[in-house]
Amino acid sequence: MKFKTLLPALLVVLAAGCDSILDVRPINEVDEGTAITTAAGARAALAGLYDGLQSTGYYGGTFTFFGDLSAEDVEHTGTFTTYRQADLNALTADNTTIEGFWDALYRAVGRANIILARVPTVPGLAAAERDQMLAEARFARALTFHNLVKLWGEQAPVGMGVPIPLVPPTDIPTASQITRSTTGQVYTQILADLAAAESLMTLSGGGSTTHRATIGAVRAVRARVFLYQANYAAAEAEAEAVAAMGYTLAQNYAHLFTQDGQATPEDIFVLEFIPVDFQLLGFFYRAKGVPGGRREIGPTATLLRQYDPAYAGTPASYNPVDLRGQHNIAFTDTIAPFFVYGSKWPTGIGAEDVHVIRFAEVLLIKSEAEARQGKLAEADTGVNLVRARAGLPPVNSIALGQAAAIDSILQQRRLELVFEGDRWPDLVRTGKAAAYLAAFVPPLPPRAAFQVLYPIPLNELDVAPGLVQNTGY
């Protein structure tokens, strides 16, 4: 029978074919060694970097949520206990959302580092395009280091900052030896990255390009960085430079938060979202009962009273003059039972673009920097533009006096940037966070002073033993 010869033949074929049978390669993924070796690969890696900024652990979610939850204007109304910890300022180092947050930021840094390491040697890239790519990577890294240091880093320049990896890891043991740089070192690196980005950047500012980093974005973020460093003269100068590029406020506050990403002259750098990118902001802020989302977090009565001091806990009693208060706050119903929710994002689809920095913030940076330098007359210009757009009368800083003038500018920052994750970093920056935590007295649960800084995730400490935890955790 033929079968007699078939079987040994089969065995031989099998033995000979083993190696080829066992070499199975992925189709939809590409090997690390060949990924960034062409112009197309370099461009894909750059898109991947922006994808990193879009993460639901970063601008697409946690960065905004926790920046709001830790402060007084937003509270936890959903079911995630990790969010509740942030709301109660009772974070623990094993909070998994904090871990995802930290991971997402360093994932973006890692993607920038790979571009910075590989793109310079990619053949077939024109110098201008290559330099623009490197500039964008530097910008994204600086932005992210700043977001890290403002939440996890001690404020004093000699204090513990955050780790600042600058090259892709060669192997895991080496990567695990990382330590925290001082806050001063982190800021030095941020400014070095921004300076390099500015010099390499070919895309100018002024609003023609907003979905990628431009010189306008670099300088606007630098203004913010200087403000955080309390280098007010430099902050003012950078803000003025940005203003000179031709940005103006959007005519209508609501135009900034449209589903189809309508461009406004206020945009400096927005992350563009289409439905498949799905940012969580609308889905988590909007209420269950109306088109939108799960109301995982919601505005507090405190916030509503900032917009309308007469707010008495019912929809009928909320009649803000402030147009932002009209846009940002909504109720599920006019009579009980109702929920109040954040309506800044018009849908729960997750396709609204997210502003990383916009001109209103630059104006407020400029006003604050001026007020803090005692230039009270100049300070009115920026803040009054923002107030006017909100339907509020102008202020006179000189009449208010310096301290009250600064407070009124910070209040505008609060009302303008609410639900954008700015409030808690602002409280920390201005030294008010500790006072906020101390203000909770029984029967409210006590909040510990060390909670001003976020904890480094427990799992991170386990695998990078050189990292030192923030005090108190």
Report CA-CA distances (Å) from 357 to 192, 220, 253, 287, 365.
20, 7, 15, 26, 11
CA dihedral for 234, 419, 262, 133, sign (positive or negative)? positive
CA 108 – CA 32 distance, rounded (Å): 17
> Which backbone phi and psi does 30 adopt, to 5 degrees?
-125, 145
> What is the CB neighbour count within 10 angstroms for residue 266?
24
> Which backbone phi and psi does 25 adopt, to 5 degrees?
-115, 150
Helix (H) / strand (E) element for 102: namely: helix 96-118
- Measured from the CB of residue 381, what is the shortest distance to another protein in angstroms? 35
- Residue in this structure with the two tokens 């208010």, named with its chain if needed: 400
- Measured from the CB of residue 466, what is the shortest distance to another protein in angstroms? 9
Comparison of 240 and 339: residue with beta carbon closer to another protein: 339
- Measured from the CB of residue 8, what is the shortest distance to another protein in angstroms? 8
Comparison of 126 and 335: residue with beta carbon closer to another protein: 335
Residues with Cβ within 8 Å of residue 445, at least 6 apart in sequence: 88, 90
Comparison of 5 and 393: residue with beta carbon closer to another protein: 5
Give the residue from 149, 105, 72 showing the smallest Cα distance to 418.
72
Give the residue from 176, 175, 143, 179 showing the smallest Cα distance to 161.
179
Comparison of 141 and 375: residue with beta carbon closer to another protein: 141
Residues with Cβ within 8 Å of residue 28, at least 6 apart in sequence: none
- Measured from the CB of residue 347, what is the shortest distance to another protein in angstroms? 7
- Measured from the CB of residue 45, what is the shortest distance to another protein in angstroms? 7
- Measured from the CB of residue 26, what is the shortest distance to another protein in angstroms? 5
- Measured from the CB of residue 79, what is the shortest distance to another protein in angstroms? 7
Diameter of the chain measured on Cα atoms: 109
Q: In this structure, are residues 466 and 177 in contact, taking their beta carbons and an 8 Å threshold?
A: yes
Comparison of 231 and 259: residue with beta carbon closer to another protein: 259
Comparison of 6 and 398: residue with beta carbon closer to another protein: 6
- Measured from the CB of residue 14, what is the shortest distance to another protein in angstroms? 5
Pull the structure tokens for residue 431. Answer: 């030294």
